[in-house]
Amino acid sequence: MADEAAFQFLHNEVIQYIYKSAESGETENGRHIAKLENMGFRVGQGLIERLTKDTARFKDELDIMKFVCKDFWTCVFKKQIDNLRTNHQGIYVLQDNKFRLLSQLSAGKQYLEHAPKYLSFSCGLVRGALSSLGVKSIVTAEVSIMPACKTCITRPSSSQRQEKSVTLMDNCAASISIL
């Protein structure tokens, strides 16, 4: 269990370090989130390059998503995504029922307001990985109860706009077996 802890502790330190800077406020908070997201982006790019070194070419976008849900997620978070849903029009919803980066926070709704800073790095991570695989995307995350986390991937080219993606999550009824 302690094997992956180094990553987790370092991730927490980074968040603390970035948020420690004196200024705070709405705009500052947005900048911190962006910094974390960018960091995740580059880590994701590096990781996917290493992971796909000996992998066969992907058939299609869904194949890429399955790889992200299984191999990529397992590499970083030591478990795979519990549920992948898609509307087959460029929106994917990845559900992790026990998201590792949130597992050190109390379960429940008490600390929900702090969730964004713990999620932005991994949003970047997914976006970076997908970008290296040639899929431009917008990645957002949503927590309604800790430590479960929904990650929503939207292709900007898809007809739906990103702002609608949250409501569209419910429309992604087609659950896909990723096993």
User: Which residues contribute to the site for a copy of itself (CB under 8 A)?
Assistant: 1-3, 5-7, 9-11, 13-14, 17-18, 35, 39, 42-43, 46-47, 50-51, 75-76
Tell me how far CA of residue 138 lies from CA of 16, 93, 106, in angstroms.
Answer: 25, 12, 28
Would you say 118 or 169 has its CB closer to a copy of itself? 118
CA 42 to chain centre: 13
Comparison of 18 and 176: residue with beta carbon closer to a copy of itself = 18
| 85, amino acid identity | R
User: Taking the complex as a whole, how short is the minimal distance between the CB of residue 49 and a copy of itself, in angstroms?
Assistant: 10
Q: Whose Cβ is closer to a copy of itself: residue 46's or residue 108's?
A: 46
CB of 65 to a copy of itself, least distance (A): 19
Q: Torsions phi, psi of 150, nearest 5?
A: -105, 125
User: Residue 91's Cα: distance from chain center in Å?
Assistant: 14
Considering the complex, what minimum distance in angstroms separates the CB of residue 71 from a copy of itself?
9
Smallest gap from Cβ 85 to a copy of itself, in A, equals 25
Among 149, 119, 121, 151, residue whose Cα is nearest residue 137: 151
* Cβ proximity of 73 and 109 under 8 Å: no
Q: Which is nearer to a copy of itself, 78 or 161 (CB)?
A: 78
Token pair 């269990």: residue: 1
Query: How far, in Å, CA of 165 to CA of 146, rounded?
Result: 21
CB of 105 to a copy of itself, least distance (A): 15
Output 44 or 90, the one with its CB closest to a copy of itself: 44
